[in-house]
Structure 1
Amino acid sequence: MKKLIMNKIKKEVNEGCFFHVDNHERMYIGKKDKTGIVISIFDLSGDIRRFEINEQILCEDIILFQQSSDDRYVFVYSKLHEYKVKVFSADGKEQSVFSLPSGVSCCLLDEKQNLWAGLSDEGIYDDENPSEQSLLCFTLDGQLKETHIDQQLSEIYAPVVDDCYALAEKDGLIYMLYYSYTVIAAFDETDVRRVWIVSDKEYSGVYDQLAISDDGFWICKDEHSLSLIPADVSLPIQEVKCCGPDGRELSVQQLKLTSNAIYAISDSGIYKRDIRGGKANE
């Protein structure tokens, strides 16, 4: 078992909050109040901003809230079994609203301001998706962009996507973790660049996050269970325990993986471990 020593960066946080960190290390913490959701945005500079959303939903129904590269705010959520996107200007005015298809399992806002939506088996094999696309790409005004990821995977005889688990971005490429078995594909808007088929079948299951480092592929299950797929995917997957500076295992409530770091919310605060550049040592 691998132990990951993490540093505490913030004191206690309310249990059940929405928690997200983007690749620019902005941290988003959402809490429900009487009128909707209040998102606190913590910047690396130390600035704290608050953004209010007038939607009566639970924090667990927020799929994504993130600031775009041109300072707009992208809010993806589910309500009454529908998946919706709202895009707000920097001053909080609603700019666009559009719906996503049923069966959305994960979303990613990339550096080019595309919103990628991965579909579960429910969405892939839905009657409203006759081409059985597993991954959709939208502009922030709701226009669907043409992609051929599934077709290209088929052309190179990669396993078909039966369920899209998680999406990540690293160095200009999008990475998709999917089933059948455990497969990771790397691609840009036009081409599939590489596919990894994980040989360790004992760890097959439903995952909800993915991050890439020199060590390999970090994967998260049920928001709090962390594992590492070695860069040599023929090796066994390692179970990882998040620990505080004293080496004691943290009681993790939520994990968030970015291209730079791993974040953990525990009952004693928020912890962080950098994974960019060198190795994440035991």
Structure 2
Amino acid sequence: MKKLIMNKIQKVINDGCFFHVDNHERMYICKKGNTGISFSIIDLSGDIQGFEINEQIPCEDIILFQQSSDDRRYVFIYSKMYEYKVKVFSADGKEECAFSLPSGASCNLLDEKQNLWVGLSDEGIYDDENPSGHSVLCFTLDGQLKETHIDQQLSEIYAPAVDDCYALAEKNGLIYMLYYSDTVIAAFDEADVKRVWIISDKEYSGVYDQLAVSDDGFWICKDEHSLSLIPADVSLPKQEVKCYDSEGHELSIQQLRLTMNAIYAISDSGIYKWDFSKREKIK
């Protein structure tokens, strides 16, 4: 087992709130108000800005709220009647676009190019409305589907087919997909599959909901609070990871969020962060 010594960065705790962090290390925290929902966006300097959406949506039904990398739009994804709905707002709060995601959407990622990537579960991959059997889709922020050939290319290089897409991550311009047929990670861009890692160890089997990539390997999160590391040499055993504060006390994790640069944890004592660059603090 490995230990991460994390730094406390926020004291405020909101039990049951929506919490998200993007690759620019902006934190998004949602509270339910009288007329709708309110987001606090906290940047690296500690500055806070607010954004309100006048809809009564429970925090547990919010899938994603994130500012685009060009700072011009906000992307909001939520669940309604077992469907994922997307709304795109301008910086001044005006709704620009609304569309629904396909049946079986299981994970999503808003990348640095303002593309919205959506991974599908087996329900969506084998749905009659998806005759090509796509496992991951790429949308523009006006709801248009972009043409990709990820699954075809996986087949051409004899990589395992995708039966269930678990998680998506971004690193250095590539999209990483963690998927099931055993456990596999594929790296690709809009045009090509670049590399595939096949992890055959049965201990890796299970459903994971987050993925991040660092020099140490692949960080995977299960049920928002259980963290593991697949070493960069994927032939080595998976390592369970526990999070501790600077005084050596194990954190009681409520939520974990993995980004391109760091791991964030909400505990009952605050919000904590561990940077991937601080590899010496893995024990």
Which TM-score band applies after superposition, normalised by the shorter structure? over 0.9
Residue 156 and residue 277 in structure 1: after superposition, are their counterparts in 2 closer, same or farther (change >3 A)?
farther
| C-alpha deviation, 1:203, in angstroms | 2.6
Instruction: Kindly provide the amino acid, as one letter, of the partner of residue 56 in structure 1.
Output: Q
Partner of 2:264: 263
Q: What does the per-residue CA deviation read over 1:213-240, in whole Å, with 9 as the maximum and x for residues that have no partner?
A: 1100000000000000000000100000
Partner of 1:34: 34
In structure 2, what is the Cα distance between the partners aligned to 1:56 and 1:244?
36
SS of alignment partner, residue 203 of structure 2: helix
SS of alignment partner, residue 202 of structure 1: helix
In structure 1, what is the Cα distance between the partners aligned to 2:212 and 2:264?
12
| C-alpha deviation, 1:162, in angstroms | 0.6
Partner of 2:9: 9
Partner of 2:136: 135
SS of alignment partner, residue 152 of structure 1: helix
SS of alignment partner, residue 97 of structure 1: strand
Residue 44 and residue 253 in structure 1: after superposition, are their counterparts in 2 closer, same or farther (change >3 A)?
same
Instruction: Kindly provide the amino acid, as one letter, of the partner of residue 11 in structure 2.
Output: K
In structure 2, what is the Cα distance between the partners aligned to 1:276 and 1:211?
13
Instruction: Kindly provide the amino acid, as one letter, of the partner of residue 13 in structure 1.
Output: I
1:137-156 equivalence runs, <5 A = 137-156=138-157
Whether 1:45 and 2:45 are equivalent positions in the alignment is yes
SS of alignment partner, residue 154 of structure 1: helix
SS of alignment partner, residue 167 of structure 1: strand
Partner of 1:119: 120
Partner of 1:61: 61
| C-alpha deviation, 1:128, in angstroms | 1.2
In structure 1, what is the Cα distance between the partners aligned to 2:126 and 2:281?
39
Partner of 2:84: 83
Partner of 1:19: 19
SS of alignment partner, residue 153 of structure 2: helix
**Structure 2 unaligned runs (5+)?**
none
In structure 2, what is the Cα distance between the partners aligned to 1:188 and 1:277?
28
Stretches (4+) displaced over 2 A: 276-281
Partner of 1:252: 253
What value does the CA root-mean-square deviation take over the aligned residues?
1.1
SS of alignment partner, residue 75 of structure 1: strand
| C-alpha deviation, 1:281, in angstroms | 2.2
Whether 1:170 and 2:171 are equivalent positions in the alignment is yes
In structure 1, what is the Cα distance between the partners aligned to 2:279 and 2:52?
38
| C-alpha deviation, 1:276, in angstroms | 3.4
In structure 1, what is the Cα distance between the partners aligned to 2:280 and 2:135?
32
| C-alpha deviation, 1:199, in angstroms | 2.6
SS of alignment partner, residue 91 of structure 1: coil
Partner of 1:219: 220
Partner of 2:193: 192
SS of alignment partner, residue 158 of structure 2: coil
Whether 1:242 and 2:267 are equivalent positions in the alignment is no
Equivalent pairs, count: 282
Q: What does the per-residue CA deviation read over 1:26-52, in whole Å, with 9 as the maximum and x for residues that have no partner?
A: 000011222221110001122101111
Q: What does the per-residue CA deviation read over 1:98-117, in whole Å, with 9 as the maximum and x for residues that have no partner?
A: 11111111110000000000
TM-score of the superposed pair, with normalisation by structure 1:
0.98
Identity within the alignment, %: 82
SS of alignment partner, residue 117 of structure 1: strand
**Which range moved further: 22-31 or 50-59?**
50-59
SS of alignment partner, residue 150 of structure 1: helix
Contact 1:12 1:267 in 2 (8 A): no
In structure 2, what is the Cα distance between the partners aligned to 1:55 and 1:151?
40
In structure 2, what is the Cα distance between the partners aligned to 1:116 and 1:83?
13
| C-alpha deviation, 1:12, in angstroms | 3.1
Instruction: Kindly provide the amino acid, as one letter, of the partner of residue 60 in structure 2.
Output: E
Residue 279 and residue 123 in structure 1: after superposition, are their counterparts in 2 closer, same or farther (change >3 A)?
farther
| C-alpha deviation, 1:7, in angstroms | 0.5
1:223-234 equivalence runs, <5 A = 223-234=224-235
SS of alignment partner, residue 152 of structure 2: helix
Instruction: Kindly provide the amino acid, as one letter, of the partner of residue 135 in structure 2.
Output: S
**Which range moved further: 45-54 or 264-273?**
45-54
Residue 148 and residue 22 in structure 1: after superposition, are their counterparts in 2 closer, same or farther (change >3 A)?
same
